[in-house]
Structure 1
């Protein structure tokens, strides 16, 4: 994995910057995030602005006021502000485009960007898309067009993740037997955790998934339904087992637990340290120093000061972290994406990797729909959770006098 430390691009005086970037989907101000939108475009903009040799030249949003406000905050001239993505691509010819719209709109915009003559890379927000067909389509089109496609699974660049992987590789818990994940849901939140499961299993293919889910109440995030409870198990080709317990009444009190033959490692324990591990013959846990990061990024030192300044309005949205400080996880991800364009190295955030992780989400939903285990690769196109909701497979809280905990299986 490429280090999270900032890689600086070089350019000769008087020459065109190596990379010109644009953002599609600016959103409203990130100072007021909600389940409708978090204005992630501002976070991507900070990442591009932090890099030498990169110019942020354009933005597009369907709401003109949002696009103008974004441009004013991040230094894009009025000539680089658009409501049409097609017009933005044609007139500004960016090298890299960040797609920061809700997931249902990802595929069409990613494909549109990939087919633009100037575009060399598309960096898209997660989750990938709301149908399996669209997830596959994005990857296939970008591969056919020779465009690098990446997704913003930025937790790969946390010090917590890097040290957890190092401990695992060094044998701190022995041979890996099982990966366990908690969290709020399988899709919006779980996409990060499935991605980290893939990292900790060295990209080992998954062969079989068995799951049950519930949708006990309306639960939408960024326009996409999220199950309220899930219990899932899957098996990797090498015999490692995966277990997920998410949402209401989750059985896990941490985000990730890695169980080895000789010990256990936990990431993001509720009310506990970001990272700890213990061998089977030890009573006490060893807490790992992950400063300056917690699971989601910097939480100490000047990095924390900068983040607080953004959230309280002392710094404008889209202002990058100073280069002499550890960047946010999104800034580190953007640096990796741009470096991969510049040096040709593959990114750990690749579309192919995201597709393998996202397949687990859709496989869990499909298993619940069928009421039995499914084998991979998936042979579906739609969104099984949406199909179950439309078919009335779930009893919503209070709809029929029940507590909604009937599940789909």
Structure 2
């Protein structure tokens, strides 16, 4: 098994098998791209400055001198693999280049807990899908007919909508409760005020690398070459605002106020050992979406809630990335079938990930079943939706033999409406 010269706890999300990408702000106020190993971040700016990424694909282009990953993302899979391989070799227990250079190590390694992480990508566009069958069935059962919970199109195409890229924020960002138009129960006219039905949505998102030309779709079997890596996503939702606004065009203000993502982008190469079969798709997708063996990844996902009256966050949801009906490659192929052009750094959310058991439902709307089954907390409190001061913490990891490949956390705390 790969082993680093840096000590890595066995339960760490960031062993040598992971090496995700992120960005942090230095004490001088500069933004440096970085990776993570154990309890440390690895400053890629410094390693790049030393000329250590000198293989044929990167060829000392100094791609990690940028303040975002966008250019590196645009280079494609061969460059991504080369950079990852180079970094693994530099951190290997048998390589003296970094291990035995105390001065360089001091510049490269920073305590992860002391680093101020920032968005590592300039996000041009954000699309959110609706790809968990159980979630769609739960919502359809609540608001329509349980016997016809899925709309006729749901199993024929990955349903999605265009979100707001400018309000995607890094983990740890506190968010003010949004205001909007709300229709009270049995009322005919809306009122304006703060949302009282505030919710989280457990999602995983992917970032794209190389784009496509306008008018040229990305084939489903080549879509994987356009996917750079994955992040945890909390796509916050104001359910009462959405109820009034979503017909006939879908969510708008209910979703545009904030989307939180984890600071670390886990690469497809790191996740490759955890590839799993996608659930059976029936009916057979149309040819442009059909794959002989569609796959997903076995990633454990958990949601914790911390209130102002609790010291220890309480787990309220345990799900898995496998609980999606449509794969990432199918989502991307569908997104581009019109010839829509994607760009390096575009973000695509999975939609709420709910499993078949009640504890695996990926939103409070489902966990508390539209407010009829309040969640009981160890503090004696109950929740149907989020209250001011509540903090939602999501985490995720793939379990290997003797190691984990994880995402860390995505946190967000709800502040009172302005």
TM-score higher than 0.5 = no
Return the TM-score normalized by structure 1.
0.25
Please, what TM-score do these two structures have when normalized by structure 2? 0.25
Bigger fraction of residues in strand: 2
